[in-house]
Chain A
Amino acid sequence: MSEIANESHTAGDAVLRVTDLQMHFPVRSKGLFPKTIGQVKAVDGVSFDVQPGETLGLVGESGCGKSTTGRTALRLLEPTSGKVEMDGIDVTRMSAKDMVPLRRKAAMIFQDPYNALNPRHTVGAIIGAPFAVQGVEPAGGVRAAVRELMDRVGLNPEHYNRYPAEFSGGQRQRIGIARAVALRPHFIVCDEPVSALDVSIQAQVINLLRDLQDEFGIAYLFVAHDLAVVRQISHRVAVMYLGHVMELTSREELYSRPLHPYTHALLSAIPVPDPRAQKNREHIMLSGDLPSPVNPPSGCVFHTRCFVAQDICKVDKPVIREFEPGHQVACHFPITEYLGSTLIVGPDPGLTPESDLEGRQDGDPMEQAGDSDLIHEPGTNYTDGTDSLIDPGPGLWR
């Protein structure tokens, strides 16, 4: 499926690679002659890559720098320092003019389908705009191409001449998606694309994004604060906190064997929509709120809220490192045991034999709930066999 790289792609090049990226915004004093009195360290030394056809999820609480990372990655912002490479080309200091041809290869989808679309333009004009901007004339003409795109994303092509206000939230997000994929980009930054949508509509849009990825081999940087949504769509996930990537690994690893204390806390804080499972989970309650990115804590930026912090954490900033192959973490004391924070990781339903499933559906649900071999008991270590329950499932990338 998504292993298929875009043909025009040079093998081995990441569609995006950022290295030690920093994006600091000046804080200015008020008054007639504003002076810079500080820096918002929105992104403060972030490195990752996105491979062709891959989805890298970027999660974290609001204000941790996800959107800024996404916008800097597309060079909508010029980074304070660090390097941004698209398809192997260093674009860190490239002029807007030189960026133009590269803009064809990348696009962005926004959270708010209400504000991202110009209310005075027809849907046809909105979706067709990238052709005009890039001076591309698709075979068969722009109109036909737009109608085809509308059809592809689940909009009625007959609605070509309607205005955004006539569409529901989910449909507006489809309009944004159609425009983003118009030029068949290699790479799309999706910034909270389903956060404003109702769950039933969320699912429609997530499925659409996955289908488009499979069809066109598009890579996504998928920014979201909802870890369940990110799990649904990502191959790898990076967890951000206060401008830093705290942990980066495959989806399976992150959700079943998190290492960073913050990841443990995040996962344990999310209630699962399953009352019995939810009641059996243990919660790590983080104290306090997020510190300000203007004046981040010394040492490890998480130390003010960390439940396993030691003295060294206050002075010595942990560097992100490969703790295990393919599993990066920025922490002096990664947590390798099960804390109750991780999930009830059941076998992949796609792999469970049908007969097995039928048997499970009837009978007393209480009794079934007691059949707790799918539930991690608090205090269980990963090593005692529970990890055999964690199955990556079929059709996975790599």
Chain B
Amino acid sequence: MTDLSPAPRRAYIEVEDLSVQFPTEDGLVRAVDGVTFSIDKGQTIAIVGESGSGKSVTAQAIMGLVNARTADVTGHVWVDGQDIVGMTDDELRKMRGSTMAMIFQDPMSSLHPFYRIGAQLTEAVNVHNKVSKKEARDRAIEMLQKVGIPSPEKRIEDYPHQFSGGMRQRVMIAMALINSPSLLIADEPTTALDVTVQAQIMELILELQQEYNTAVVLITHDLGIVADAADQVAVMYGARVVESGVIDDIFYKPEMPYTLGLLASVPRLNQVRADRLDPIPGNPPSPIRLPSGCVFNPRCVYKDRVEGDLCATERPALLPTDLGHMVRCHMSKEDREAVATIALGTLGRETA
């Protein structure tokens, strides 16, 4: 390549053909395989998919957290025009906590059990800013206040275990957002919480996102949370993005058979018992033995609509089917729309 200048970037975050492979004793684990999506400031993209589909590894790669010694990372993660892939550890450390931050299902993965939360929060401020002790402390208290911790000037002296599960989640959010990052990655942030607390935490994340105009990558397996919080959705299956688009495209005009299966199998509060669920047959693939061709083909009930054995032999590309709506499937658009009508009959009714 002769052109050394980066191509013009349209979105704030551009993940481009990102792949992560782990060589293991059992064979090569293809955890992430050519993932592509983009997201602007103030927007939320939800990554959905079954466990093992590569959501967390994608998040780790965006944060530059995948260890280059144990894994092979290719592709690009452009954050505001800078490529995370290939950055040195020093460069990454500067980005993490200031430009981008991450929250997890388990708050203890970002809080140290033996230090007071005040010390941890001020440390997070000091790493990236030259400020006085008092300023850092004030910032910590302000942030705790913001995430809804009552009497923060007192609680700042407490250790993580002195907080309840929901409160600890809030402390972790305070920690992640204390330097107002422009990218927040939230990996199943409410999965371990009860619904009433989950609702509080999701509301908090969305409120703070608005305040700071943060780009959010929200990883979840809960389609309800996606419907509630996302602007864009990327559906992952077998290490690949199989469909992506704005939220209405994914929920009301999906075309990829895995997305259809996912939508048809989720139990709904607005569905009655007489109505059987329509599960996807079979089981998800092993990342060591990803099926050839379309990764979904062993479970796909529509593959006979594709000529020959293309589904089993040829990997479909992620192609636009509509403005901003990408689908990875060999079927013709006509067929994809036809099977969507078959699969989502009940959903069509529900949204009608």
Closest beta carbon of chain B to A309's beta carbon, Å: 16
Q: A169-180: contact bitstring with B at CB < 8 Å (1 yes, 0 no)?
A: 011000000000
Is B274 touching A350 in the complex (CB atoms < 8 A)?
A: yes
**A289 and B270 in contact, given A198-B221, A200-B279, A232-B277 (Cβ under 8 angstroms):** no
- CB of B253 within 8 A of chain A? yes
252-300 of chain B: CB within 8 A of chain A: 252-253, 261-263, 265-281, 283-284
Looking at chain A's contact residues, is the secondary structure mostly helix, strand, loop, or mixed?
helix
Is B265 touching A233 in the complex (CB atoms < 8 A)?
A: no
Is B199 touching A283 in the complex (CB atoms < 8 A)?
A: yes
Q: A185-208: contact bitstring with B at CB < 8 Å (1 yes, 0 no)?
A: 000000000000011111110110
Closest beta carbon of chain A to B201's beta carbon, Å: 11
- CB of B22 within 8 A of chain A? no
- Among B69-77, B118-126, B316-324, B342-350, the one that faces the other chain is B342-350
260-300 of chain A: CB within 8 A of chain B: 265-278, 283, 285-286, 289-290
Is A273 touching B268 in the complex (CB atoms < 8 A)?
A: yes
For A170, the closest partner residue in chain B by CB is B283
Contacts of A396 in B (CB 8 A): 273-274
**A267 and B269 in contact, given A62-B194, A203-B278, A278-B227 (Cβ under 8 angstroms):** yes
Closest beta carbon of chain B to A3's beta carbon, Å: 14
- Among A12-20, A102-110, A125-133, A221-229, the one that faces the other chain is A221-229
- CB of A378 within 8 A of chain B? no
Contacts of B349 in A (CB 8 A): 346, 349, 352, 357, 360-361
Q: Which of A62, A232, A344, A391 has the most CB of B within 10 A?
A: A232
Closest beta carbon of chain B to A287's beta carbon, Å: 8
- CB of A251 within 8 A of chain B? yes
- CB of A371 within 8 A of chain B? yes
Closest beta carbon of chain A to B286's beta carbon, Å: 9
Is A200 touching B272 in the complex (CB atoms < 8 A)?
A: no
Contacts of A206 in B (CB 8 A): 267, 277
**A61 and B279 in contact, given A271-B225, A277-B270 (Cβ under 8 angstroms):** no
Q: Interface residues of A, CB < 8 Å — how many? A: 69
Is B283 touching A168 in the complex (CB atoms < 8 A)?
A: yes
Is B283 touching A270 in the complex (CB atoms < 8 A)?
A: no
Closest beta carbon of chain A to B36's beta carbon, Å: 23
**A365 and B274 in contact, given A61-B195, A203-B267 (Cβ under 8 angstroms):** no
- CB of B82 within 8 A of chain A? no
Is B265 touching A203 in the complex (CB atoms < 8 A)?
A: yes
Contacts of B271 in A (CB 8 A): 231-232, 349
Contacts of B29 in A (CB 8 A): none
- Give Cα A107 to B93, complex, Å: 53
Closest beta carbon of chain B to A70's beta carbon, Å: 18
- Partner of B270 from the list A234, A272, A360 (CB cut-off 8 Å) is A272
Is B263 touching A273 in the complex (CB atoms < 8 A)?
A: yes
Is B352 touching A361 in the complex (CB atoms < 8 A)?
A: yes
Contacts of B272 in A (CB 8 A): 231, 252, 348, 350, 391-393
- Give Cα A229 to B221, complex, Å: 15
Closest beta carbon of chain B to A168's beta carbon, Å: 4
Is B284 touching A198 in the complex (CB atoms < 8 A)?
A: yes
Is B345 touching A266 in the complex (CB atoms < 8 A)?
A: no
- Among B98-106, B159-167, B173-181, B303-311, the one that faces the other chain is B159-167
**A274 and B350 in contact, given A199-B265, A285-B199, A365-B248 (Cβ under 8 angstroms):** yes
- CB of B226 within 8 A of chain A? yes
- Partner of B265 from the list A168, A202, A255, A276 (CB cut-off 8 Å) is A202
- CB of A395 within 8 A of chain B? yes
Contacts of B195 in A (CB 8 A): 61, 225, 227, 266, 269-270
**A344 and B352 in contact, given A266-B195, A275-B251 (Cβ under 8 angstroms):** no
For B148, the closest partner residue in chain A by CB is A287
**A275 and B247 in contact, given A62-B194, A343-B269 (Cβ under 8 angstroms):** yes
Closest beta carbon of chain A to B168's beta carbon, Å: 10
Closest beta carbon of chain A to B163's beta carbon, Å: 10
Contacts of A234 in B (CB 8 A): 273
- CB of A27 within 8 A of chain B? no
Is B253 touching A365 in the complex (CB atoms < 8 A)?
A: yes
- CB of B341 within 8 A of chain A? yes
- Give Cα A334 to B280, complex, Å: 41
- Partner of A266 from the list B196, B247, B266, B278 (CB cut-off 8 Å) is B196
For B265, the closest partner residue in chain A by CB is A203
- Partner of A272 from the list B51, B194, B224, B263 (CB cut-off 8 Å) is B224
Given contacts A277-B270, A352-B349, 5 further A-B contacts (CB under 8 A): A198-B221, A200-B50, A271-B202, A273-B227, A273-B263
Can you report 16 residue pairs joining A to B where beta carbons are below 8 Å apart?
A199-B265, A201-B279, A225-B195, A232-B277, A269-B199, A271-B202, A272-B269, A273-B223, A273-B224, A275-B228, A277-B351, A289-B166, A348-B275, A360-B352, A374-B352, A393-B273
